[in-house]
Each structure stands twice: as C-alpha cells, then as structure tokens.
A and B are shown apart, each in its own frame.
Chain A
Amino acid sequence: MPRKVKVRGREYLLALLREEQEKAGYISEQFIEQTAKSIDLSISEVYGVATFYHLLSTRPLGRNVIHVCKCIPCCLKSSQLVVETIQEKLGIVPGETTLDGRISLQLINCIGACDQAPAMLLNHELHGSLTPAKIAQILEACP
C-alpha cells in the first residue's frame, strides 16, 4: 500500500471504532485485530486508540448506556442523588450493567449541560434538570 493511502486509512480509525461501539456495544479483541489488519496498523496501536477515549469501551455494555455527569457544576446540583436514584432503581453501581443487559451506568466528565445540571446522557441523548421522578420515567422508557 502506498504510504499516503496507509496514513489516510488511519484517519477513519476513530470513526470505525465508534461505529462498532454503537453496533456491538463494545470493541472486542477480535474487532481490534481485524481493524488493525485492514488498515495495516499494529494491534497495540488500535488498542491504544480504543482505550484512550472515554466513550469507547473494551468491555461489553448494556443495550442502553447512561452517562451521569460528575463534574463540579453538576455536583453542585446534587448529581450524587442522580447516581443514588439510579442505583436504587436498578441495583447497579457506576461501572456495572444490569443482569438482563438492559442498562449500563457510567460516570462521565463534563458533558456541557451545566445550565441544566444535574444532567446525563442516555444513548447520546441529553437529559437535564433531573429529578428522581424524571429519572424513574426515563428508566422505565428504556427498551
């Protein structure tokens, strides 16, 4: 492969990984190997990228992923209560997935919704000004 094509093939690595994350819910070792081969990179290079970005996961996640913001502006508006409410309702702590594989709970750094704190992302959709009632509704609506 000419060098330029190789270099430019790499350009789409992050996009490829994100696509797989959406499709499969995580980036498997197998996918890392395949991708490395297809764009002619070492496995460690691809693994390095896959583990660098917070929204990529090398462990399987649930069908729905909740990211609760844990940064200062949300903390000031009791984001801890959001986590506790979800914990209570689903019986999982941050970093875990419900046994039926329905929902994963994760913490995330500032998602830029500080005007609607406390806020979270559910499958990339923004939910702000959260209250226990609102959270219950959101959780129930999860497929």
Chain B
Amino acid sequence: MPEKRIVLKNCQVIDPRDIYTYLEYDGFKALTQALGMTPEAVIAEVKASGLRGRGGAGFPCGLKWELARKSSGVEKYLICNADEGEVGTFKDRYILQHDPFTLIEAMAIAAYAISVKQAFIYLRAEYHYLLEGLLDAIEQVKAKGFLAHLNIEIREGGGAYICGEESALMDSIEGKRGEARFKPPYPPSKGLWGKPTIINNVETLMNIPAILLNGARWFNQIGTDKSKGTKVFSVSGDVARPGVCEFVMGSRLDEIVVDWANARDIKMVQVGGATGGIIPYSMIKTPLAFETVLGSGAVTVFDKSRDTLDFVSRTVEFLAEESCGKCTPCREGTEVMLEILGRLTRGDGQQEDIQTLEELSNVMSLSSLCGLGQAASIPVMDTLKYFRNEYETRIKQSVFLRSLRGQQWQ
C-alpha cells in the first residue's frame, strides 16, 4: 500500500514557528467545525472513524473519549503522551518539531468533546530542546483565541522509559516515582489525582483534525479491517535512508524497509521498539497493522553482519535498566534474563539456559503488572523462534570452551 500523509501532511510544509502559515493550510477549521457540533457528535465521529491509539496498545480512541465523557465528576484531565521512549522511535519528535499546531488543535477538539478544562503535554526530558518551540506555539494559538475553553500546560519528565506507560506517566505528573499502577481502575474513570483522564499519544491526536474535516467515512476507508488510517514509522538501523515516513495501515514491511529506506542484506527487522516483535527476512512481506505487528511504529533493521545474541542481550539490558521495579516478575525477571544472555554472549552458557529463558518468559508475560514486563520477553522468544540455532551454537561453544579449561560441568 502507498505512502500517504495524514498525520505528517503539514510537516515541512508549514513554518512551525508561525501560526499564519498553519492557518493557510486549513488550520483550526476542524476546531471551528467541532465547536459547532455537540460534544457527543464529535465523539461519535471519532468513534465511527475507527481510529485506534498509536502509542502501541491500539485502544479505540473514540471509545476512550466516550468513557471519559460519561465518567461523573466536573474535574477531568486530558494528557498528550509525548514521552516516546521506545527504542528506535522518533516520530513524535519529528511531529513536535515540524507541526505543533495540529497537535494543539487536536487537543482543543478532544478537550471540547470530553469537556476538559485542563490539559497536559507530558514531554520526555530528552526532548527538552523542543520545549521552547512548543510553548511558543501554545502562546500563538492562545493569542488567536482558539484556547478559550482550555488551559494547556507542559510537564517534563526526568528520563524514564516507563513513564510512557500511561499509569506511570500520571504518577510522574503527580510528582512521584513513575511506577505502573494496578489496573483497573483505568484512567477514563480514575486517572490523574483520581479524576477521569484521557491519555492520547501525539500521533493519535494528530489524526483528529483530518477526521473531522474529511469525515469518519473517508478515514474508515483507509487501511485494513481492524486498522484504519495511516501509521507513521521511524526507520533506523542498517538502512541507507533512515527517517520518518507515513504509510497506509496494512503496508508490507518490505515496502518500508526495502523500497523506502533502501536496506540491503537484511537479516531481521524489529518492529515496535525494545519489546517489539522480530521479523526475519523470510517474512519481509508481512503487512504492518494492529492485527499483525505494529507497536509504536519503530522499524529497526539489522543486516546479515549482526549477531542475534548481542542484539537480544542489549535489548534486555535496556529493559532491566528501565523496569520501574514495582512488580517482582519484571524487576527480577529482566535481571535474570540479562544474566543468562550475558553468559551466553561471553561464551559461558549452559545446556538448560534456553529452557530457563522460555520458562521465565512465560511467568513474566503472565504475571507482570504492565506492558514492560509483559512484553519484555518478546524479543527473546521471537529470536529463539527464528534464530534458535544461534543460541544453540553459543551453548555448544560454551561447553567446548569449558572442556578446554578442564571444567566438567555440562
């Protein structure tokens, strides 16, 4: 399926520091239109579009809004999740740099639909250099009178991957350690400071103005059965042309990696960041959508010179460092996995290592509190599935090396 720009339509078209250029390209038309509708009608339109969350989980956006709208209580919050910490993901950075106005307009529409007066943009600390541009954009929108019904504040993180997880994100805004919460209750009923809260990813929100302007039916016709619209991908690794691109949902991986990014000699591709699935070259024609693999849209390409074990142990090292430590399966599981993988890469593996990794994976995915622990084993399990021989070779080498040293055990 082809490249199509809905989310990125204004990027490198408008001047992100000048609201007038945005107004020239239909800026704030969608908001004006929404304010002429009932909030229920706005939500119905988003619901009918089939838009799903772009942060990784894919929860239906309209349904989320409806749940929050129906939640009782006057005080409600809207949070834009701009804490993209997923390894290999930089699409939100690109969007915030090139088109902050669409995001602000979308937040204004969302706030009207759910009747929220206070919104936050949770910006990751590593993107501190984007803060000034964002604040300036908000000021410009305010000065034009488009934010009469909403106050938008930016809250910066402190450098923690887990804070991209919505419950940890809320804890971080509340000034606590960013640790995942037990669910339920879910944020639309009990979120920030216990009040109904909607948390949407930057990219999800970016779709809203286009949906209102062109109608839910237009959006609904783009993409696959269960994944509507487009997806922005962050392509990096062993490619000739790294960068951000937007494709219709259901596009094949090779269209992005080979045709768009000019990758050669591909061994495997990881889709969706550190906890994303691994696709070996033999399956390069896999369509990318919520039905198959997607995640945050990170596409990291590895060529044939790359060692699988090295990649997996680095990934698990990342997850072990970033585990918030609240639940045992994730805190301890990632550490033990890292220990085993470290042993394997150093040529000191043991026969039962593969079995232990599989058992650990099961426990972690079943019993971890949040997505980090639940999905931490995916890169391990996927590489065991497709590149098991590399694990087995390492173990054989380890046994041989030990025999040279005169050590008997296994």
Q: Which residues of A contact B (CB under 8 A)?
A: 7, 10-15, 17-18, 48-49, 52-56, 71-73, 75-76, 108-117, 121, 124-126
Contacts and interface: CB of A to CB of B under 8 A. Distances in A.
A12 B236 contact: no
A11 B143 CA distance: 27
A114 B234 contact: yes
Nearest to A73: B236
Contacts of A54: 158-160
Interface in B226-254: 234-238, 242-244
A115 B175 contact: no
Contacts of A18: 125, 156, 158
A75 B174 CA distance: 34
Nearest to B310: A75
B124 interface: yes
Contacts of B237: 72-73, 76, 114
Contacts of B129: 124-126
A113 B90 contact: yes
B88 A10 contact: no
B87 A14 contact: no
Given A18-B125, A109-B322, A12 B175 contact: yes
B243 A109 contact: no
Residue from A108, A111, A114, A121 with most neighbouring chain B CB atoms (10 Å)? A114
Interface string B209-237: 00000000000000000000000001111
Question: What size tier do the contact residues of chain B reach?
Answer: 35 or more
B127 interface: yes
Main secondary structure of the interface of B (DSSP, over half): mixed
Contact of B159 (A48, A53, A71, A113): A53
B90 to A, nearest CB: 4
Interface string B110-132: 00000000000000111111000
B101 interface: no
Contacts, number: 126
A58 B381 CA distance: 37
Contacts of A108: 126, 159
Given A11-B175, A13-B175, A108-B159, A73 B244 contact: no
B88 to A, nearest CB: 5
Contact of B85 (A7, A17, A109, A121): A109
Contacts of A12: 175
27 contacts: A10-B174, A10-B176, A11-B174, A13-B175, A14-B155, A14-B156, A14-B157, A49-B176, A53-B158, A54-B158, A55-B159, A56-B159, A71-B274, A72-B274, A72-B315, A110-B88, A111-B126, A112-B89, A112-B126, A113-B90, A114-B87, A114-B88, A115-B90, A115-B242, A117-B242, A124-B129, A126-B129
B68 interface: no
B261 to A, nearest CB: 10
B102 interface: no
Residue from B237, B298, B300 with most neighbouring chain A CB atoms (10 Å)? B237
Residue from A17, A73, A124, A125 with most neighbouring chain B CB atoms (10 Å)? A73
Contacts of B238: 76
Given A76-B237, A110-B87, A52 B160 contact: yes
A15 B156 contact: yes
